[in-house]
Amino acid sequence: MQISAAGSAVLYDVILDCVWLSRDELVFSNTIHSSQQIIQQSRRSVNREFAAAT
Protein backbone atom coordinates (compact mmCIF):
# COMPACT_ATOMS: atom_id res chain seq x y z
CA MET A 1 0.00 0.00 0.00
CA GLN A 2 2.83 2.40 0.84
CA ILE A 3 4.56 1.54 -2.44
CA SER A 4 1.35 2.32 -4.33
CA ALA A 5 1.02 5.67 -2.58
CA ALA A 6 4.62 6.53 -3.44
CA GLY A 7 4.07 5.41 -7.03
CA SER A 8 0.97 7.58 -7.29
CA ALA A 9 2.90 10.58 -5.93
CA VAL A 10 5.61 10.05 -8.56
CA LEU A 11 2.99 9.76 -11.30
CA TYR A 12 1.36 12.95 -10.06
CA ASP A 13 4.71 14.79 -10.20
CA VAL A 14 5.34 13.53 -13.74
CA ILE A 15 1.85 14.60 -14.84
CA LEU A 16 2.33 18.07 -13.33
CA ASP A 17 5.69 18.38 -15.13
CA CYS A 18 4.03 17.44 -18.43
CA VAL A 19 1.26 19.99 -17.88
CA TRP A 20 3.72 22.78 -17.02
CA LEU A 21 6.04 21.91 -19.93
CA SER A 22 3.33 21.75 -22.59
CA ARG A 23 2.74 25.15 -24.18
CA ASP A 24 0.53 24.06 -27.06
CA GLU A 25 -3.18 23.79 -26.22
CA LEU A 26 -3.58 20.56 -28.17
CA VAL A 27 -0.67 18.96 -26.32
CA PHE A 28 -2.13 20.31 -23.07
CA SER A 29 -5.56 18.74 -23.65
CA ASN A 30 -3.94 15.44 -24.72
CA THR A 31 -1.86 15.50 -21.53
CA ILE A 32 -4.99 16.10 -19.43
CA HIS A 33 -6.78 13.23 -21.17
CA SER A 34 -3.92 10.74 -20.75
CA SER A 35 -3.27 11.85 -17.15
CA GLN A 36 -6.92 11.19 -16.31
CA GLN A 37 -6.52 7.67 -17.71
CA ILE A 38 -3.33 7.15 -15.69
CA ILE A 39 -5.07 8.38 -12.52
CA GLN A 40 -8.03 6.02 -13.12
CA GLN A 41 -5.65 3.08 -13.66
CA SER A 42 -3.65 3.86 -10.51
CA ARG A 43 -6.87 4.24 -8.49
CA ARG A 44 -8.01 0.83 -9.71
CA SER A 45 -4.72 -0.82 -8.75
CA VAL A 46 -4.74 0.88 -5.34
CA ASN A 47 -8.32 -0.28 -4.76
CA ARG A 48 -7.35 -3.81 -5.81
CA GLU A 49 -4.39 -3.87 -3.40
CA PHE A 50 -6.53 -2.41 -0.62
CA ALA A 51 -9.20 -5.06 -1.18
CA ALA A 52 -6.52 -7.77 -1.17
CA ALA A 53 -5.02 -6.41 2.07
CA THR A 54 -8.31 -6.41 3.97
SS3 call for 54: coil
Q: What is the mean pLDDT of the chain?
A: 76
**Which pLDDT belongs to residue 24?**
62
pLDDT at 19: 67
Query: In this structure, which amino acid lies at residue 50?
Result: F
Give the pTM: 0.40
Contact criterion met (CB below 8 Å) for 42 and 11: yes
Cβ atoms of 12 and 4 closer than 8 Å:
no
pLDDT tens profile 25-44: 666 677 778 888 888 888 88
Q: Is 13 exposed, middle or buried (0-12, 13-18, 19+ CB in 10 A)?
A: exposed
What's the pLDDT score for residue 23?
A: 59
